[in-house]
Amino acid sequence: MQNQTLIQYFHWYYNEKDNLWTKAKNEAANLAQMGFTGVWFPPAYKAANGKSSIGYDSYDLFDLGEFDQKNSVPTRYGSKSEYLAAIDALQKQQIMVLADTIFNHKAGADEVEKVPVRKVNKEDRNEFISDEFEIEAWTKFTFPGRKGKYSDFIWDHTCFSGVDWAEDLKESAIYAIQNQFGEGWEEVPSEELGNYDYLMFDDLDFRNLAIRAELKKWGKWYYETTNVDGFRLDAVKHISPGFIIEWIDDMKKNCDRDFFIISENWNIESVEELEHYIEITGGRTQLFDSLLHHNLYLASIGGRDYDLKTILDNTLAHRNPMLAITFVDNHDSQPLQALESFIDFWFRPLAYAMVLLRIQGIPCVFYPDIYGASYEDDGQTIELQPVQELPQMLITRQNLAYGEQIDYLDHHNCIGWTRAGDEEHPNSGLAILMSNGDEGFKEMEIDKKFAGQIFIDVLGKRTEEVTIDENGCGEFFCDAGSVSVWVLKIQ
Ligand code: CA
């Protein structure tokens, strides 16, 4: 079995000459060669701001760049046919494709309706701060450009639990919609702000069984239309977990296959919340390890003051590695974005060694770390350089990062680990050493089978040759503020 490696194939400011679907199609063979086994694509359906949307303000889940809606046929990333061609090209290279799936909210409604609401306290969503009254809200979705093709479902205010804009009052607030399904919010995993059901736009009310049926119908249609291999579920902490369970089970049954499913449950404080989510959803979904990302971030800004012994503490990779999707950064944490917590450049090779070369978790590489990115926002110009060491680390992961792992997370400034290798992968076995302080060295055991053989730093930062002793041990080195990856020297 080859190690699985995903790539998040976009970032917030993708602005290259080819649209994203075309770029991905052209890169399919290259991605396979680099060692990627899966691609996470951004939302492929029409969003409220048409071509200028990143896609998370989703409007019509059935419009994959096919209909003239929101002033454009294609989405920001291309047309439906280009999307399907990209998926096909990737799958021909044995790369699975994951679709970004937004169930929490819809945006860009076609019509206003008179909607009974009660205002709630923004800081405590369980506290009503008004009696019931009527507002005009954008809650009716008729999709005039699609004209009922694929689905004739019309969304109205009974499909939503809340909105944040009263058109007639020109007022922004959080309005809980009063309908037959309840006056307050749905029960969701997150208790931030009292109840965090409401995130943004028109927030779906899963107590309305008609929308559950519609989204299950959509899932089957999406699979049959695109042949995707899995889904990345957006913002699940704001969604009834009962619905997520039902949707995943229904998809497997209706499509008669398994899907690779990752959920985004952003949390940088409590790994227990992620564990709780795994518990209540019965382990049906992988989760992004936002806590490991946060530790990597703290390490990168902490420099030599950060205690590397603690870098895995309270991470999902440590607590539940089977379900952890590890990553260094994503489209929310990149510079100038909402959850900006970009891992400092000097630490990115160390961070990628942590996610790519350890046994725990399935890594997801961030697009700019392969391709670079250059963009402007808020009057600032950002240049993200590719991580130089990344291609070599990906190949090392693909070929050599196998077998038992021994950890040496035993020094404030210098940690390492080894992989013993296995029989299936010739010459596999590794030793990794990193330092956030001075030049480092450490005696580490790889495996007795390497006795008398020589290991070298495949990243080329250290030029020593390390001979493994009869106990399978060697003394390995790394530069100050650096990482070295030691592999068997092929004579
Ligand atoms: Ca919600």
CATH number of the structural domain spanning residue 460: 2.60.40.1180
Same domain (yes/no): 270, 381: yes
241 and 126 within one domain: no
Residues with a catalytic annotation lie at 234, 264
Q: Judge whether residue 491 has pLDDT over 80.
A: no
- Token pair belonging to 12: 């917030």
Distance 202 CA to ligand 1 centre (A): 9
Residue 269 CA to ligand 1 center (angstroms) comes to 21
Tell me whether residue 1 is in a domain. no
- Do 252 and 171 sit in the same domain of this protein? no
**Contact yes or no for 60/41 (Cβ under 8 A):** no
Question: How far apart, in whole angstroms, are the C-alpha atoms of residue 7 and residue 2?
Answer: 16
Residue 75 has what DSSP assignment? B
Q: Specify whether 317 is located in the same domain as 225.
A: yes
**What integer best gives the mean pLDDT of the chain?**
97
CA 205 / ligand 1 centre spacing (Å):
7
H/E run at residue 475: strand 473-478
Residues with CB under 5 A from ligand 1 (ion): 104, 197, 203, 238
220 & 305 share domain: yes
pLDDT in tens, 312-351: 999 999 999 999 999 999 999 999 998 999 999 999 999 9
pLDDT digits (tens, 9 = 90+) for 454-467: 999 999 999 999 99
State which of 372, 396, 420 marks the end of a domain: 396
Å from CA of 198 to ligand 1 middle: 5
pLDDT confidence bin for 253, thresholds 50/70/90: very high
Query: What range defines the domain where residue 73 resides?
Result: 6-102+210-396
What is residue 290's predicted lDDT score, i.e. its pLDDT? 98
32, exposed or middle or buried, with CB in 10 Å at 0-12, 13-18, 19+? Answer: middle
Note whether 94 and 112 are same-domain residues.
Answer: no
Q: Are residues 190 and 310 in the same domain?
A: no
The verdict on residue 178 lying in a domain is: yes
Within a domain: 183: yes
Co-location of 298 and 196 in the same domain:
no
Residue after which a domain boundary falls, among 341, 369, 396: 396
Span 408-451, pLDDT tens digits: 999 999 999 999 999 999 999 999 999 999 999 999 999 999 99
- The residue among 204, 227, 253 that closes a domain is 204
Count of beta carbons in the 10 Å neighbourhood of residue 481: 19
| 164 Cβ contact list (under 8 Å, min separation 6) | 172, 173, 174, 175, 198, 200, 201
Q: Are residues 236 and 332 in the same domain?
A: yes
CATH number at residue 131: 2.40.30.140
Model pLDDT for residues 22-71, shown as the tens digit of each residue: 999 999 999 999 999 999 999 999 999 999 999 999 999 999 999 999 99
Report how far ligand 1's centroid is from the alpha carbon of 100 (Å): 17
Tell me, yes or no, whether 259 and 353 share the same domain: yes
pLDDT of 191 > 90? The answer is no
Number of domains in the chain: 3
CA 179 to ligand 1 center in whole angstroms: 15
Model pLDDT for residues 121-133, shown as the tens digit of each residue: 999 999 999 999 9
Residues 244 and 350 in one domain: yes
For 94-115, how does the pLDDT look when each residue is reduced to its tens digit (9 = 90+)?
999 999 999 999 999 999 999 9
Q: Which residues of 387-425 are buried (b: 16+ CB within 10 A; e: fewer)?
A: bebbeebbebbbbbbbbebeebeeeebbbbbbbbbeeeb
Are the C-beta atoms of residues 206 and 242 closer than 8 Å to each other? yes
